[in-house]
């Protein structure tokens, strides 16, 4: 859909929604809308990213299709979000290419990287890939330096790309860079984002995957996000062990990094699998089908990451370890490379929108409005 | 039809708030219930789909209200807004039973929220549905289905087989195609008012009705009211009365709902097509006057008026669906609205000269008024002097009609001569005219629907069980 047409749909929708306001009690989008009387593209970008796609508003809407005004906030906002993810990505052409064929690009990239790691291991390792290594010591297969160099470079690039995208979005919705660190607003935003407050709706949950309100999406998202966080913590802790204390891996099954990684890995199986299952049962009248590819690609990469990671842990003392390691590393690197161009950015943009909403509330209260 | 509807206890005709309250209560009393909703599922709920709150008395401040609202005060508000002339007994029941509605609704799973910001100062008196009336209806349907209700959509009752004041069966058109007969021991008619029957409106209003908008569902064509009256039921109310508010003239004929209404009148200046003012815009709070203004507009030439505001006030009332017509002078706005420019300019100039100094406060009946002007503006009168200026075209938006079927306190339909029909009950807009003679008070419609819906459901279920007991006794007797 051309951008101008989407903006027109968004403006028309807001003219109805801001005159109705029945949804005011659902989430942050509607009070944020009420701060405004007109809706430019930047306002719509902001509100769209503040929307958590809970869909309560659609089922409550007296103007939803087949009403002639065809009001459909979940779908309209989803389309705006997709546009912001692409528009503000850096470098933008990478995002456009990825979005067009997300799952295929992801799997091909993963395949290439797996092959690369096989090659690197064969070139660098003194041991054969197909024999068991005592204690499951994968540094015997892949030198630590190779991992640090490759993942360090990818990590820096990804952080840069994510940062640029976030800043572009933040400025587009009319905020100053300095306000990204406004302490009270940031604290409030972190609290609301970490609790998924706007999928909770005061305990009712949200209308996902169908009309009946439920907490299932919020919980599966929690499994996914905190699973991801635990895996990240495990890796970081491993680095601290290595650099800080000189303790080299692999660590025992009861060591903190392995416990964190195992719990995280389980979360990253339960969460994405649950979200995928909910997604397949979703009411298609309110989804933006064009995002199906990036959504599924992200879920698949998360699942492959956690499954191969756990397999690696369980089988690290067998002959399969070398191959599994190459596969796992290839998939993890793909996941990282795709972060700035796929579904992952929703977390950043939505958090930024929540932060803006916290700032707006603070400004309103100081103005005494 | 594949489903078997024989041996049905309660047939509920209609699919809005009153109908579902009746269905749920009948189900809870152990009756079998079939609900006939004439719209498709996506548009179910009749006018209730467009509602958002109920006015309920409460002696103390409790959640979700911001303060106490004693029943006596609600009674006074009701009298102030409606004149309260029809049936004082039923009106008293509505007001004094209203406190029970909140807990009942919560028990069905209905979710409430604090009052919406920027609305008609109703946070103390009215309970607001989280998500509005469609959300309410989704909850009531879910509850009714959980209790075992069967619901048929696209099922329009077009006739009732009534003999000697006793209902036998209904003729129901399914998906606009074939018809079926559905028999039941009792029937609750809660199928809405007559507002979507344009011919009926023409009969009551003449050609003026062509310029009305119907704010709610196009499905409320009043078939059941007409069928009941033809079968000998007593009517109540004046066919020209209804809940009518000023709406934007650019709105669609049906289903515009809440967003087309205009709340600018108390803050602005209203002229008719000739460019003349004709009524005190600041007579009372908008919440008490919006229902009067619908009729005022309907009585003007071509049923259209124009409200002017300036930059001081344009953002002081709720936004509406269509943008205001904007201009740097009053004349520029008047020209775009096809009004006599010089006349409107003169009217505004005369008004501006008559405005007295005062302290503007829209939350109280302030002292900003005109002097020596006819008609005067008695509150919130401010000069229109700050460009740009804005204008809105206003048309009458009809919410529902008050011409109704007469009922008694058991919600039983009264036949001519005053005898209640044996097994026919009515609830909602079908009988709201028993309580609303004219005017309106915000949030009362759903309360009438709830209270009389529940009474009707209870009465119908009790009667159905009694007649089932009699029938089985007779059957046993015959078998012997």
The residues pairing with A346 across neighbouring beta strands, listed in sequence order, are none
Q: Does A144 touch chain B (CB under 8 A)?
A: no
The confidence score (pLDDT) of residue B479 equals 63
Nearest residue, CB atoms, A37 vs list B111, B319, B321: B319
End-to-end CA distance of chain B: 36
Last residue of a domain, one of B396, B431, B461: B396
Band (pLDDT 50/70/90 cuts) for residue B2 is very low
Band (pLDDT 50/70/90 cuts) for residue A369 is very low
Residues A165 and A275 in one domain: yes
Residues A23 and A80 in one domain: yes
**In a 10 Å sphere around its CB, with 0-12 CB exposed, 13-18 middle and 19+ buried, how is residue B363 labelled?**
exposed
Mean pLDDT of chain B: 94
Q: Compare all CA atoms of chain A with the CA of B318 and give the residue at the minimum distance.
A: A19
Residues B268 and B352 in one domain: yes
Secondary structure (3-state) at B66: coil
- The average pLDDT across A138-151 equals 79
Tokens 């069967």 belong to B150
The confidence score (pLDDT) of residue B477 equals 74
Decide if pLDDT at A126 tops 60: no
Q: Does A26 touch chain B (CB under 8 A)?
A: yes
Per residue in A15-51, pLDDT (tens digit) is 999 999 999 999 999 999 999 999 999 999 999 999 9
Residues A287 and A197 in one domain: yes
CA distance A190 to A180: 12
Per residue in B99-108, pLDDT (tens digit) is 999 999 999 9
Residues A40 and A95 in one domain: no
The confidence score (pLDDT) of residue B80 equals 87
Band (pLDDT 50/70/90 cuts) for residue B147 is very high
Q: Compare all CA atoms of chain A with the CA of B215 and give the residue at the minimum distance.
A: A62
Q: Compare all CA atoms of chain A with the CA of B52 and give the residue at the minimum distance.
A: A22
Last residue of a domain, one of B347, B364, B396: B396
- The average pLDDT across A217-234 equals 96
Tokens 């005060």 belong to B73
Decide if pLDDT at B74 tops 50: yes
Residues B87 and B160 in one domain: yes
- The reply to whether B157 falls in a domain is yes
- Whichever domain contains B198, its CATH number is 3.50.50.60
Mean pLDDT of chain A: 92
Interface test with B, best of A16, A54, A62 (most B CBs within 10 A): A62
Per residue in B164-182, pLDDT (tens digit) is 889 999 999 999 999 999 9
The confidence score (pLDDT) of residue A15 equals 96
Stronger pLDDT, B40 or A150, i.e. the higher one: B40
CA distance B233 to B224: 11
Residues B232 and B342 in one domain: no
Structure tokens at B356: 């007295």
Percent of chain B with pLDDT over 90: 86
Residues A142 and A289 in one domain: yes
Q: Does A281 touch chain B (CB under 8 A)?
A: no
Tell me the residue range of the domain where A194 lies.
89-361
- The reply to whether B280 falls in a domain is yes
The confidence score (pLDDT) of residue B119 equals 52
- Taking CB atoms and an 8 Å limit, are B142 and A212 in contact across chains? yes
Nearest residue, CB atoms, B259 vs list A16, A64, A68: A16
Decide if pLDDT at B474 tops 80: no
Residues B64 and B161 in one domain: yes
The confidence score (pLDDT) of residue B120 equals 52
- The reply to whether A174 falls in a domain is yes
Kindly list the residues from chain B whose CB atom is less than 8 angstroms away from the CB atom of residue A36: none
How many other β-carbons are positioned within 10 Å of the β-carbon of residue A369? 7
Whether the Cβ atoms of residue B432 and residue B445 lie closer than 8 Å to each other: yes
Tell me the residue range of the domain where B340 lies.
243-396
Tokens 């209902």 belong to B167
The confidence score (pLDDT) of residue B10 equals 98
Q: Compare all CA atoms of chain A with the CA of B139 and give the residue at the minimum distance.
A: A212
Residues A48 and A104 in one domain: no
Residues A50 and A97 in one domain: no
Kindly list the residues from chain B whose CB atom is less than 8 angstroms away from the CB atom of residue A21: 116-119, 318
Last residue of a domain, one of A86, A109, A131: A86
Residues A121 and A207 in one domain: yes
ipTM for the predicted complex: 0.93
Residues B280 and B375 in one domain: yes
Residues 179-218 of A with CB under 8 A from B: 204, 211-212
> Cis ω on the peptide bond leading into residue B268 (within 30° of 0)?
no
Q: Does B294 touch chain A (CB under 8 A)?
A: no
The total number of structural domains that make up chain A? 2
- The average pLDDT across B131-157 equals 97
Nearest residue, CB atoms, B116 vs list A24, A62, A67: A24
Band (pLDDT 50/70/90 cuts) for residue A368 is very low
Last residue of a domain, one of A35, A59, A86: A86
Residues A195 and A256 in one domain: yes
Tokens 């529940």 belong to B454
Residues B38 and B108 in one domain: yes
Interface test with A, best of B40, B41, B132 (most A CBs within 10 A): B132
Indicate the range of A173-182, A345-354, B93-102 predicted with least confidence.
A173-182
The confidence score (pLDDT) of residue A128 equals 56
- The reply to whether B427 falls in a domain is yes
- The reply to whether B4 falls in a domain is no
Nearest residue, CB atoms, A24 vs list B43, B117, B322: B117
Tokens 């028993």 belong to B434
Decide if pLDDT at B468 tops 50: yes
- The reply to whether B351 falls in a domain is yes
Q: Compare all CA atoms of chain A with the CA of B116 and give the residue at the minimum distance.
A: A24
Q: Does A37 touch chain B (CB under 8 A)?
A: yes
The confidence score (pLDDT) of residue B278 equals 97
- The average pLDDT across A311-323 equals 89
Residues B108 and B247 in one domain: no
Last residue of a domain, one of B354, B371, B396: B396
Percent of chain B with pLDDT over 70: 97
Query: Under 8 Å CB-to-CB from B455, ≥6 apart: which residues?
Result: B409, B410, B411, B425, B427
Decide if pLDDT at A90 tops 80: yes
Kindly list the residues from chain B whose CB atom is less than 8 angstroms away from the CB atom of residue A34: 117-118
Percent of chain A with pLDDT over 70: 97
Residues B218 and B353 in one domain: no
Q: Does A63 touch chain B (CB under 8 A)?
A: yes
Residues A81 and A190 in one domain: no
The confidence score (pLDDT) of residue A143 equals 75
Band (pLDDT 50/70/90 cuts) for residue A139 is confident
Band (pLDDT 50/70/90 cuts) for residue B84 is confident
CA distance B379 to B377: 6
Residues B311 and B422 in one domain: no
- The reply to whether B3 falls in a domain is no
Residues B33 and B175 in one domain: yes
Kindly list the residues from chain A whose CB atom is less than 8 angstroms away from the CB atom of residue B113: 24-25
The total number of structural domains that make up chain B? 2
- Taking CB atoms and an 8 Å limit, are B131 and A22 in contact across chains? yes
Per residue in B7-42, pLDDT (tens digit) is 899 999 999 999 999 999 999 999 999 999 999 999
Q: Which candidate, B198, B52, B90, B19, places its Cα nearest to that of B437?
A: B90
- Taking CB atoms and an 8 Å limit, are B321 and A15 in contact across chains? yes
Q: Compare all CA atoms of chain A with the CA of B42 and give the residue at the minimum distance.
A: A66
Last residue of a domain, one of A86, A109, A138: A86
Band (pLDDT 50/70/90 cuts) for residue A119 is confident
- The average pLDDT across B88-117 equals 92
- The average pLDDT across A299-309 equals 96
Q: Does B141 touch chain A (CB under 8 A)?
A: no
Residues A170 and A82 in one domain: no
Residues B414 and B380 in one domain: no
Structure tokens at B316: 């002081």
- The reply to whether B59 falls in a domain is yes
The confidence score (pLDDT) of residue A142 equals 73
Stronger pLDDT, A95 or B344, i.e. the higher one: B344
Secondary structure (3-state) at B82: helix
Residues B267 and B353 in one domain: yes
Structure tokens at B161: 């087989």
Residues 284-323 of A with CB under 8 A from B: none
Decide if pLDDT at A367 tops 50: yes
Whether the Cβ atoms of residue A286 and residue A58 lie closer than 8 Å to each other: yes
The confidence score (pLDDT) of residue B122 equals 84
Band (pLDDT 50/70/90 cuts) for residue A249 is confident
Total count of residues recorded for chain B: 480
- Taking CB atoms and an 8 Å limit, are A15 and B132 in contact across chains? no
- Taking CB atoms and an 8 Å limit, are B42 and A22 in contact across chains? no
Residues A135 and A275 in one domain: yes
- The reply to whether B196 falls in a domain is yes
Indicate the range of A114-128, A160-174, B222-236, B319-333 predicted with least confidence.
A114-128
Per residue in A274-291, pLDDT (tens digit) is 999 999 999 999 999 999
Sign of CA dihedral A62, A64, A69, A74: positive
The confidence score (pLDDT) of residue A122 equals 81
Structure tokens at B446: 């759903």
Q: Does A22 touch chain B (CB under 8 A)?
A: yes
Q: Does A70 touch chain B (CB under 8 A)?
A: no
CA distance B151 to B20: 10
- The average pLDDT across A101-105 equals 91
Decide if pLDDT at B114 tops 60: yes
How many other β-carbons are positioned within 10 Å of the β-carbon of residue B479? 6
**In a 10 Å sphere around its CB, with 0-12 CB exposed, 13-18 middle and 19+ buried, how is residue A66 labelled?**
exposed
CA distance A64 to A61: 5
Kindly list the residues from chain B whose CB atom is less than 8 angstroms away from the CB atom of residue A23: 131-132
- The reply to whether A368 falls in a domain is no
- Whichever domain contains B271, its CATH number is 3.90.700.10
A225 CA to chain B: closest CA distance, Å?
29
- The average pLDDT across A240-257 equals 88
């Amino acid at each position: 859909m051309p951008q101008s047409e989407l903006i027109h749909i968004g403006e028309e929708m807001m003219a109805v929604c801001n005159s109705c306001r029945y949804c005011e009690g659902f989430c942050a989008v509607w009070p944020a809308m009420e701060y405004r009387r007109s809706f430019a593209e930047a306002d719509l970008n902001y509100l769209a990213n503040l929307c958590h796609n809970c869909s309560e508003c659609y089922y409550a809407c007296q103007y939803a299709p087949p009403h002639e005004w065809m009001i459909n906030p979940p779908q309209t906002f989803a389309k705006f979000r997709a546009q912001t993810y692409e528009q503000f990505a850096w470098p933008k052409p990478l995002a456009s290419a990825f979005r067009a064929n997300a799952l295929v690009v992801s799997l091909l990239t993963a395949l290439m990287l797996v092959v690369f790691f096989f090659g690197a291991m064969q070139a660098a390792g003194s041991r054969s890939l197909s024999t068991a290594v005592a204690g499951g010591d994968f540094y015997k297969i892949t030198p630590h330096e190779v991992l640090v160099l490759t993942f360090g470079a990818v990590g820096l690039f990804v952080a840069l790309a994510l940062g640029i995208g976030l800043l572009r979005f933040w400025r587009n919705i009319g905020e100053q860079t300095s306000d990204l660190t406004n302490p009270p607003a940031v604290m409030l935003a972190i609290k609301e984002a970490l609790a998924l407050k706007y999928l909770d709706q005061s305990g009712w949950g949200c209308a996902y995957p169908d009309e009946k309100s439920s907490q299932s999406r919020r919980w599966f998202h929690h499994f996914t996000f905190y699973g991801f966080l635990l895996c990240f913590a495990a890796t970081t802790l491993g680095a601290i062990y290595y650099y800080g204390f000189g303790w080299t891996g692999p660590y025992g099954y009861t060591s903190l990094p392995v416990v964190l990684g195992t719990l995280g890995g389980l979360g990253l199986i339960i969460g994405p699998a649950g979200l995928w299952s909910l997604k397949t049962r979703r009411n298609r009248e309110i989804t933006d089908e064009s995002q199906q590819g990036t959504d599924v690609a992200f879920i698949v990469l998360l699942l492959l990451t956690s499954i191969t990671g756990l397999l690696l842990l369980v089988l690290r003392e067998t002959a399969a370890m070398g191959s599994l390691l190459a596969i796992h590393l290839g998939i993890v690197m793909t996941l990282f490379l795709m972060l700035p161009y796929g579904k992952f950015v929703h977390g950043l943009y939505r958090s930024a929108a929540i932060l803006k909403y916290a700032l707006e509330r603070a400004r309103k209260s100081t103005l005494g409005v | 039809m594949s489903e078997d509807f024989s041996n049905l206890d309660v047939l509920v005709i209609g699919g809005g708030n009153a109908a579902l309250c009746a269905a749920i209560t009948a189900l809870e009393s152990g009756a079998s219930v079939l609900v006939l909703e004439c719209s498709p599922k996506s548009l179910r709920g009749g006018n209730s789909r467009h509602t958002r709150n109920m006015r309920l008395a409460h002696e103390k401040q409790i959640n979700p209200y911001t303060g106490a609202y004693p029943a006596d005060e609600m009674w006074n508000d009701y009298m102030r807004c409606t004149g309260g002339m029809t049936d004082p007994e039923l009106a008293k029941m509505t007001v004094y039973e209203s406190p029970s509605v909140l807990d009942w609704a919560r028990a069905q799973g209905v979710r409430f929220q604090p009052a919406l910001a920027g609305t008609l100062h109703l946070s103390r008196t009215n309970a607001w549905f989280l998500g509005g009336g469609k959300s309410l209806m989704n909850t009531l349907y879910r509850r009714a289905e959980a209790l075992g209700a069967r619901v048929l959509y696209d099922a329009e009752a077009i006739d009732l087989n009534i003999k000697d004041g006793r209902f036998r069966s209904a003729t129901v058109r399914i998906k606009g195609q074939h018809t079926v007969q559905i028999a039941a021991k009792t029937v609750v008619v809660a199928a809405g008012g007559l507002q979507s029957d344009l011919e009926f409106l023409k009969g009551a209003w003449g050609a003026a009705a062509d310029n009305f908008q119907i704010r709610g569902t196009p499905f409320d064509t009043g078939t059941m009211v007409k069928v009941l009256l033809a079968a000998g039921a007593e009517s109540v109310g004046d066919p020209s009365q209804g809940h009518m508010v000023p709406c934007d003239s650019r709105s669609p004929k049906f289903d515009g709902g809440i967003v087309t209404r205009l709340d600018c009148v108390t803050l602005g200046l209203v002229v008719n097509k000739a460019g003349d003012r004709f009524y005190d815009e600041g007579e009372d709070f908008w919440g008490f006057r919006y229902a009067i203004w619908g009729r005022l507009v309907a009585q003007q030439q071509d049923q259209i008026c124009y409200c002017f505001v300036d930059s001081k006030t344009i953002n002081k009332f709720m936004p509406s669906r269509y943008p205001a017509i904007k201009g740097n002078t009053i004349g520029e706005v008047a020209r775009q609205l096809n009004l006599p420019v010089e006349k409107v300019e003169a009217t505004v100039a005369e008004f501006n000269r008559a405005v007295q100094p005062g302290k503007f406060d829209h939350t109280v009946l302030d002292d900003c008024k005109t002097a020596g002007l006819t008609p005067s503006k008695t509150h919130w009168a401010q000069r229109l002097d700050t460009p740009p200026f804005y204008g809105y075209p206003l048309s009458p938006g009809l919410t529902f009609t008050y011409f109704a079927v007469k009922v008694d306190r058991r919600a039983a339909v009264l036949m001519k001569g005053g005898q209640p029909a044996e097994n026919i009950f009515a609830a909602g807009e079908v009988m709201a005219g028993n309580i609303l003679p004219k005017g309106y008070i915000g949030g009362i419609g759903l309360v009438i629907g709830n209270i009389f819906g529940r009474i009707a459901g209870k009465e119908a279920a009790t009667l159905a069980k009694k007649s089932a007991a009699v029938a089985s006794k007779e059957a046993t007797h015959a078998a012997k």
